[in-house]
Amino acid sequence: MTSTARVREEFGRIHGHAPEGVWAAPGRVNLIGEHTDYNDGFALPMALPQSTLLAARRRGDDLLRVHSAQGDGRVAEFAVADLAPGAAGGWARYPAGVVWALRERGLPVGGADLHVDSTVPTGAGLSSSAALQCAVAVAYDELYGLRLERPELALVVQYAENAFAGVPCGVMDQMASLCCAEGGALYLDSRGPSVRQVPFDLTGHGLSLLVLDTRVKHDLADGAYAALRAGCERAAGLLGLPALRDLAEEGLAGALEGLPGELVPLVRHVVTENARVGLAVEHLTAGEPEGLGPLLTAGHASLRDDYRVSCPETDLAVEAAVAAGALGARMTGGGFGGSVIALVRAGRAESVGRAVSEAFAAAGFARPAVLDAVPSAGARRID
């Protein structure tokens, strides 16, 4: 039975009638450009094959009833008119938040029955929460005839995560899940936000992109992420800039001299990371994806030493992958655990994955999960 058919069948079993459709929204890896989006900067994510599937049907009584195959078996139920920050907890706050955010925009949306089933690993830094929210967003957009452009829908979902779920994230995850195209990476300018598709042909160049899930769970709502964002905003204010995106790399050294010591590494990471995104886009546009390798490794060093969002497991995964022949590797996502990506020659993928697993075993860490990342399509209706 296909995944779509299974989601339809489960929806009928739980809600007692057939869904109006099934939608899918993918997880993502970010090739380069980490912690830049909330600084109005640049990023280069791509969508994964792993997705959240959502079966949905409108209701006439303004109730929102949500069920997850990964949940505790219960159906969470909310009166749409009563939705407000704090009204939902756990995983249900993500779909509830999207409905609330749409209504906050003054859009005419009501209740729905929802059932979700996801293959995006949770807590792995692959944007499982954004995939869930974006699946709800595209379903509601179609069910209620909203006809929002994808960047606008991404801003709605970001607002839901910021104001309803309490995570002060930028817009990169939502833009990736909603706007990526098969066979490409998404060049994101967060200030617009605006996007451009960039070809990313791994197979044609004999390459593979491994995702190494360290199984170290992270929670971006625990305060550390918010503190980093606040530090960046404080630094931009002291420099008299709208955002750190406005500090050019050639002006970095002079700018750092006038900042408090604790803000120096944050600014240095953001500015150099934006520059790495530009170089990465140049390599992909020129048909040289192997040129990403050194940029990935340099980006990880910056996240580890300047931004300090790495951990022993992600550091070890990067070191072991590069030592085993990867062209480059870095942690991806917000940090404090999660996953590492490694760019490898296709013939070395298995040996690199094995080397990382062996290094983890020797260090006494849990065995990492190894996924093959393929540039995939963004959110869409699939049935």
The catalytic residue positions are 173
Q: Residue 154 to residues 134, 191, 366: CA-CA distances in angstroms?
A: 8, 13, 35
Question: What contacts 72, CB < 8 A, 6 or more positions away?
Answer: none
Query: H/E/C letters for each residue in 135-204?
Result: HHHHHHHHHCCCCCCHHHHHHHHHHHHHHHCCCCCCCHHHHHHHHCCCCEEEEEECCCCEEEEEECCCHH
Angle, alpha carbons 196-199-205 (nearest 5°)? 160
**Packing angle, helices 349-363 and 312-323, rounded to 10:** 140
User: Omega of the bond prior to 45 within 30 degrees of 0, cis?
Assistant: no
Question: What contacts 150, CB < 8 A, 6 or more positions away?
Answer: 175, 178, 179, 378
Q: Residue 215 to residues 129, 177, 368: CA-CA distances in angstroms?
A: 16, 22, 6
115 close to 55: Cβ distance less than 8 angstroms = yes
Per the listing, tokens 């209706």 go with 381
Query: Which residues make beta-bridge pairs with 381?
Result: 23
Question: What contacts 43, CB < 8 A, 6 or more positions away?
Answer: 30, 32, 33, 34, 36, 37, 172, 188, 190, 277
67 close to 53: Cβ distance less than 8 angstroms = no
